[in-house]
Structure 1
Amino acid sequence: MPIWNERIHEKRIEKGITLAQVADRLGVTEATAQRYERGNIKSIPYEHMCAYGEILNCSPAYLMGWENNSSVAVNNAFPIELKSFPLLGEIACGIPTYTNEDRESYIMAGTNIHADFCLKAKGDSMINARIHEGDIVFIRKQDIVDNGEIAAVVVNNENEATLKRFYYYAEKSMVILKAENTAYEDLIFTNDELNDFHVLGKAVAFQSDVI
C-alpha cells in the first residue's frame, strides 16, 4: 500500500474528520474516499492530493511520504505538482528476468520527472548507482542511449529485461551491459547477438522509500 493511504487515514482520525466530510470537500462519493484510505485506488489525482492537504492541514509532500514533518510551511511554500506514471512491472538488477506488464498500476511522482513509465527494481546489481531492490525507476522511452547511461534493456528475444549501464562499440559490433556491483559480470552481445535485445528507454530518475 502506498504510504499516502496510511497518512491520509491517520491524519483524518487525528483531526476527527469524517469520511463524509472528506468526500464532500473532494467532490467524490464516501465510498471513493474510503477506497483511497484502504489503498484500493493506487493513484490519486493531483487536485485531490492538494485538497487533502488543505482538509488535513498538512503538506501534500508529507502525505506522499516525501517528508516526515506534517506541519505546513508558512514561508517559502510552493505547490507540488504530481502526475501518475504507469508501473509496468519489475526489472532485474542482476540476472535478467521476465518483466510482467501491469498497466493498471500507477505511481505518483513530481511533474519534473520526464518519463513515460516506471519499473520496480529487483536485485542488487545497481546498488553502486544507489538503485536498490524495491526502488521505482522512471524510464523515458528511446531506442538508444549514450554510452555510460543507465538503460532498461530487453534481452533474449524479449523474454527478459534488465537495468544496466549501456556501452555500444560500433567498430566492434559490440554492446556491453555493465552492472554497478562488482559481483556481477558484464553482459556482452556481439554481431548477430545484437538482434537479441533492444533498449526500452533511459533511466531518468528513481524513487526510494525512506528507511
Structure 2
Amino acid sequence: MMIEKLNDIRKARGMTISELSEKSGVPLSTIKKISAGITKNPNMATISALIKVMDCTLGDLDPRSSEEQDWEKAGLVPYHPQNRMPLLGKVSCGMPMYAAEDIEGYIASDFEEDGEYFGLRARGDSMNALGINEGDIIVVHKQPVVENGEVAVVLVNGDEATVKRFNRQGDTVILSPQSDNPEHHPQIYNLKEISISVVGKVIELRKRF
C-alpha cells in the first residue's frame, strides 16, 4: 500500500525515478527496487528523504496512529524496523554457521544492502577499550575475508569464535585484543599449523544503559 501511494505521488508530481534520486540523495538502485516492489518495507530514513522531496507526509503514504502523527508534527520520525536478524549467544564451527540452539532471539535490522547479518552477545573484557563489554551486542556482517586492522569474528581451530582485531602477514595471523586488562595479549598463529577462519566483520555495537 505504501509503495503504491509513493509511486502515485511521484507520478502526480511529474518526477522521474532519476529526478527523485538526484533530489533526495537516495541511491537510484534503491528507488528502483522500491518502485518495483522488490523492497517492500524501506526504512524510515529513506522514506523521510523521499517524502521531503515530494512535498508530502507520512500520513499520505500510510494511515498511522494519532500519537505517530503528533511525533511527525514535532519533527520526529517513529522507528519501525522492518527486518530482523538472529541474536546468537555463540558462534561455533559447522554447517549451517549457527544452530537453532545458539539463537537467543532476534533483533531489529535495517540493512538494505545485500548480505547476511547476525548479532552476537559479547563475552569477557578483551575488547573493552573499544567499548565492547560483557553482555553487549555486536552486529556482524557475515564474510570470509576482512582487511587488516578490522575487528572480526574469527574461529581458531574450529573452536568457539573470538572477537579480535585481525591482521595477516603471509602465513601469520595476529589476533589483537583491545583491552585495558593487561592479562590479554595478542594471539599469534601460523596458518600452516592452526586453522583460522573469518566468520564476519564487526560493523556495529549495541548497548544498554
Common fold: TM-score over 0.5: yes
What SS does the corresponding residue of 1:90 show, helix, strand or coil?
coil
- Mapped contact 1:115–1:138 kept (Cα < 8 A): no
Distance in 2 between residues matched to 1:58 and 1:209, nearest whole Å: 25
CA-to-partner distance for each residue in 1:140-189, whole Å, 9 max, x for gaps?
11111111100000112x1221000000102xx10000000152111111
Q: Deviations 1:72-93 (Å, cap 9, x if unpaired)?
A: 46332234341211112236xx
Aligned CA-pair RMSD: 3.0
- Against the structure 1 CA distance between its residues 191 and 153, is the aligned structure 2 distance closer, same or farther, given a 3 Å change threshold? closer
Whole-angstrom distance in 2 between the partners of 1:151 and 1:177: 9
Using the size of structure 1 for normalisation, the TM-score is 0.55
- Structure 2 counterpart of 1:177, from 175, 178, 190: 175
Query: Matches of 2:112 and 2:130 in 1, distance apart?
Result: 21
* CA distance in 2 between partners of 1:112 and 1:79 (Å): 18
Equivalence for 1:84 = 84
The two structures have a TM-score, normalised by structure 2, of: 0.56
2:118 aligned residue: 117
Percent of paired sites with the same residue: 34
* Alpha-carbon separation, structure 1, partners of 2:127 and 2:198: 17
Pick the structure with greater CA Rg: 2
Query: Aligned with 1:128: secondary structure?
Result: helix
Deviations 1:72-125 (A, max 9, x none): 46332234341211112236xxxxxxx975246211244479751111001101
> 1:58 and 1:133, CA in 2 relative to 1: closer, same or farther beyond 3 A?
farther
Quote the residue 1:206 is aligned against. Answer: 205
Residue 133 of structure 1 is matched in structure 2 by 134
Correspondence list, 1:56-205, <5 A: 57=67, 72=71, 74-82=73-81, 83-90=83-90, 102-103=102-103, 105-111=105-111, 116-156=117-157, 158-170=158-170, 173-182=171-180, 183=182, 184-194=184-194, 196-205=195-204
Q: What amino acid is the match of 1:129?
A: L
User: Which amino acid is the alignment partner of residue 107 of structure 2?
Assistant: I
Residue ranges of structure 1 left out of the alignment (5+ in a row): 1-45, 60-70, 92-98
Distance change in 2, residues 1:88/1:200 (3 Å): same
Match in the other structure for 2:65: 54
After TM superposition, which residue ranges in structure 1, 4 or more long, deviate above 6 angstroms?
A: none
**In the alignment, is the contact (CA less than 8 A) between 1:129 and 1:180 conserved in 2?**
yes
